[in-house]
Amino acid sequence: MRSAEKKSVPLWKSDELDSPIPPVVEPAYFDQELNAWVLSRHADVLAALRSRSLVMYSSQLQTEEDERAMARMRAQTIEALSHVQLRTWADAISLTIDETLASLPEDQVVDLLEAYLRPACLALAAMVTEIEEKDAASLRELAHSVSASAAEPADPVLRENARAVTPELQACFHAKAESLRDSGFVALSHTLPCLLANGCYALLEHPEQWTILHKQPASVDQAIEELMRYAGLSRYLRRRATEDIVLAGASISKNDQLILRIVAANHDPERFACPNSLEVLRREAGQLTLGAGPHACVGASLLRMASAAILRPLLTRFASATLSGSVDWHGGSGFRAPTQLPVVLRETHHEKA
Ligand code: HEM
């Protein structure tokens, strides 16, 4: 059961990446404080994500017109993220990254987030959302409160701050596909650095896994799936039942809410062998960090391309990286990520004596 922290806010300490306790995976139960069913087994969470009797949680009732608009937006995004387009962005971002990568110092402390991950993601965000590069930094600043609210959706002050800046932010983006405007910019300039920072933190905690990828950079694509499983960002997703159903062994009534614990599902021993160890060459598919089913993240191909384009050159150049200082965390029940990543990077690997 959940450790009682804040009533009505789903917070499981064991779902935090820096927690010494692994996530607890348990049968579905109804949590009185959260007023929601809680699902944490991989099979249960996947069944819920695929169920047509559950809709994305929202205080508004979702109409059929909302569903149709969402389907149009998905189709438009898939068209905008063609293989050719992804390849073009990957090539363009590689050129930008070369310069940033070359500026990273060896053998001295550098904040990997500030010096590499954030600028690389911001350059990509500007490219994909078709804004002028010179405007990117100020728009990133403006978008901060939207990202902060996504990280802690239960905080009404953060929600109000996000709501207040949204019209100004929206007016700055004009890409053809709706998902590649302001929301895509927030996802690429704020959320993606968080996802990559969690992945890098996991590699820093497991230096032998960094070394494997330095020696086998062709395995980075595969490793990204494992980093999303082990150190993914989304901690939980919400759903609401549109009819009475039996799911995960629970009798769920129409309008009941559900909390799907993504972190726990990604660490379910029934689904993943040795779930609490990071193995970058693992071949088990099925991580749920980008959701699954009809509402799975439609930006997934873009995120995979971007993650590989940003991480592969870093891992190729540096044989090792050592965490050098304490890491602070930001965010909340939605997602958490390091605020900074102080590291010492080395081009040659020094084996321990
Ligand atoms: C690190 C960045 C990202 C993460 C962790 C992420 C994660 C997710 C997750 C977990 C969902 C499923 C939500 C649910 O089932 O309730 C989702 C949906 C979605 N994502 Fe992403 N996403 C990211 C970036 C992006 C980007 C860059 C785009 C832009 C193309 C995007 C577009 C969407 C859309 C439009 C949906 C809703 C799909 C639907 O409801 O049918 N995401 N994302």
- Residue where the block lists tokens 């009534």: 253
pLDDT in tens, 130-145: 999 999 999 999 999 9
| Nearest ligand 1 atom to alpha carbon 292 | 15
Which residue's C-alpha comes closest to atom 30 of ligand 1?
299
User: If you measure from the C-alpha of residue 232 to the centroid of ligand 1, how many angstroms do you get, rounded to a whole number?
Assistant: 13
What pLDDT does residue 299 have?
A: 97
pLDDT in tens, 96-142: 999 999 999 999 999 999 999 999 999 999 999 999 999 999 999 99
Binning pLDDT at 50, 70 and 90, where does residue 345 land? very high
Return the structure tokens found at 79: 């068209």
Which of 211, 204, 202 lies closest to 233 in space, CA to CA?
202
- Residue 296 alpha carbon, nearest atom of ligand 1: 12
Question: For tokens 């053998």, what's the residue?
Answer: 107
Give the residue, by CA position, lying nearest to ligand 1 atom 6. 290
Q: Distance from CA of residue 316 to its chain's centroid?
A: 23
Residue with the smallest CA separation from ligand 1 atom 38 is 295
Task: Check residue 60 and give its pLDDT.
Answer: 54
- Tens of pLDDT, residue by residue over 43-65, are 999 999 999 999 987 645 567 78
**pLDDT value of residue 353:** 42
Mean per-residue pLDDT, 75-97: 96
Residue 5 has pLDDT above 70, yes or no: no
Q: Mean pLDDT across the stretch 166-179?
A: 96
Closest among 139, 227, 230, 130 to 177, alpha carbons compared: 130
Residue pLDDT, tens place only, 269-279: 999 999 999 99
Q: Which protein residue's CA is at the shortest distance from atom 21 of ligand 1? A: 297
Q: Compute, in angstroms, the gap from residue 257 CA to the centroid of ligand 1.
A: 20
Domains of the chain: 13-346 (1.10.630.10)
3-state secondary structure the chain: CCCCCCCCCCCCHHHCCCCCCCCCCCCCEEECCCCEEEECCHHHHHHHHHCCCEEECCCCCCCHHHHHHHHHHHHHHHHHCCHHHHHHHHHHHHHHHHHHHHCCCCCCEEEHHHHHHHHHHHHHHHHHHCCCHHHHHHHHHHHHHHHHHHHCCCCHHHHHHHHHHHHHHHCCCCCCCHHHCHHHHHHHHHHHHHHHHHHHHHHHHCHHHHHHHHHCHHHHHHHHHHHHHHHCCCCEEEEEECCCEEECCEEECCCCEEEEEHHHHCCCCCCCCCCCCCCCCCCCCCCCCCCCHHHCCCCHHHHHHHHHHHHHHHHHHCCEEEECCCCCEEECCCCEEECCCEEEEECCCCCCC
Q: How many A from CA of 305 to the centre of ligand 1?
A: 15
- pLDDT single digits (tens) 181-217: 999 999 999 999 999 999 999 999 999 999 999 999 9
pLDDT band at 4 (very low <50, low <70, confident <90, very high): very low
The string of pLDDT tens digits covering residues 141-161 is 999 999 999 999 989 999 999
Supply angle C-alpha 338, 340, 342, rounded to 5. 120
Distance 140 CA to ligand 1 centre (A): 18
Identify whether the C-beta of residue 191 lies closer than 8 Å to the C-beta of residue 147.
Answer: yes
Residue ranges around ligand 1 (CB below 6 Å): 56, 70, 74, 77, 179-180, 184, 187-188, 191-192, 195, 233-234, 237, 290-291, 295, 297-299, 302-303
Atom of ligand 1 nearest to the CA of 293: 15
7-40 pLDDT, tens digit per residue, is 678 889 999 999 999 999 999 999 999 999 999 9
Residue 56: the pLDDT is 85
Output the six-digit token pair for 273.
């062998």
Q: Candidates 54, 77, 290: which one to mutate for ligand 1, based on the most atoms within 8 Å of Cβ?
A: 290
Say how far apart CA 3 and CA 352 lie, in whole Å: 40
Q: pLDDT digit string (tens) for 296-321?
A: 999 999 999 999 999 999 999 999 99
Q: 296 vs 37, 70, 289, 292, CA distance in Å?
A: 21, 12, 9, 4
pLDDT at position 65 is: 82
Ligand 1 centre and the CA of 76: distance in Å?
14
Q: What single letter denotes the amino acid at residue 268?
A: D
Calculate how far, in angstroms, residue 87's C-alpha sits from the geometric centre of ligand 1: 20
Mutate to test the pocket of ligand 1, among 227, 233, 297 (most ligand atoms within 8 A of CB): 297
Give the Å distance between the CA of 11 and the centre of ligand 1: 21
- β pairing state of 245-247 and 109-111: unpaired
